[in-house]
Amino acid sequence: MEKNMERGNNVKELNDYLDYLKYQKNYSDYTILSYENDIKEYLDFISSEGILFKEIEYSDIRFYLMYLKEKRKDNNSSIDRKLSSLRGFYKYMANEGIVKNNVFSLVSGPKKSKKLPRYFEYNELEEMFKVPDESPLGQRDLLLLEMLYATGCRVGELVSIKVSDIDLARKQILILGKGNKERYVSYGEYCEDALKKYLSDGYPTLNKDNLDYLFLNNKGGQLTERGVRYLLDHIIKQTGINKNISPHMIRHSFATHLLNEGCDLLTVQKLLGHESIKATQIYTHVTTDRLKEVYFHSFPRAKKDD
C-alpha cells in the first residue's frame, strides 16, 4: 500500500516539475519530453527495487548507474544526460521542501569523450538551398534554410518567430531564447530576398487562419520542431549529401563558418545566445585545420623557397 501511494505521489511531483520546466524555465516541448522519459525510467527502476522516492541514498544511485551501464548498456553520454535530468529534478524537489536534499548533486557522471559538432561545408548548404521550388511551401522551405543559416537560431526559436518580431528595415529579428531571454539576430541579403518573396506570395496563401507566426505548415498552423526535422530530412534526400543530419547542424555551420572567417569567439557567443563562453569554445576545435591553413599560407618562414 505504501509503495502504491509513493508511486502515485511520484506522478504528481513529476507533473509539477514538467509544468515548472514549461512555464517558468520556458524549455521546449522536445527538451521536456526528454526529461520526462529519463525521470520515468528512473522512477520505474526504484519502484521495482522497492526504494522509496523520498528516501533515496547515494548507494541506491550507484545501483541505478550499474543498471544503466551493465543491463541497459547505455553509453557514457546517455548516462550523463540522465543524471543531469535527475539532478535538476531533485534540485527542484529540494527547493520545494519535498526532499531534504539533492542527493544527485553528490554524483558525477562518467567521463565522456568530447564530440566535435558536425556541420555542413558551404558547398553542401548551397546544394540544399537549390532544392525548394517556387510553390508556397517551397518558398517557406527556402526561407527556413536561409534563416537557420543566417541567424544560427535554435529550431525551437525559429518556429516561434512571429512576423511582428521582424524589423524589415534593419534586417533584424527579436528572438526569444532559452530561459525566456531575448536577443536580436541579423540576417543578410539572401535571407532578405527569401523573406520578402515568402511574405508577399507564399505566406498569404498558407496563412488561412491569420496567424502571426512566420513559419506555417500546409494546413495553415504553426510549424513545429518535429515538422522542421521532417522537412530537412526530405530536403537532404534530394541532394547528393551523404550525412545523417539534424537541424542543429545548420546552427553549428553558422558558428563554424563565422570563426573560420575571423569572427571572434565572444561575438559568436552572443549571436548563438550562449549563456557561457564554455558552450561556444567547442567550435574552436573545429577551426584548427583552418588555422593551420592560414599559418602555412601567411607565415614567412613556414615554407622554404624552392
Q: What angle do CA 139, 135, 148 make, to 5 degrees?
A: 20
Which helix (H) or strand (E) segment is 173 a member of?
A: strand 172-176
- The three three-digit cell numbers of residue 235, written as one number: 530536403
246: CB partners within 8 A, 6+ apart: 118, 229, 232
Q: Compute the distance between CA of residue 149 and CA of residue 147 in angstroms, rounded to an integer.
A: 5
Q: Any bridge partners for residue 166, and if so which?
A: 173
The span from the first CA to the last CA of the chain, in angstroms, equals 86
Q: Exposed, middle or buried: residue 13 (CB in 10 Å: 0-12, 13-18, 19+)?
A: buried
Please, is 242 exposed, middle or buried when counting C-beta atoms within 10 Å of its C-beta (0-12, 13-18, 19+)?
A: exposed
Q: In which element (H, E) is residue 138 found?
A: helix 136-151
Cell numbers for 14:
513529476
Residue 218 CB coordination number (10 Å): 11
Give the Cα separation of 12 and 16 in Å (integer): 6
- Alpha-carbon distance 89 to 105, whole Å? 11
Question: Looking at the annotation, which residues are catalytic?
Answer: 154, 178, 248, 251, 274, 283
Q: Longest Cα pair distance anywhere in the chain, in angstroms? A: 86
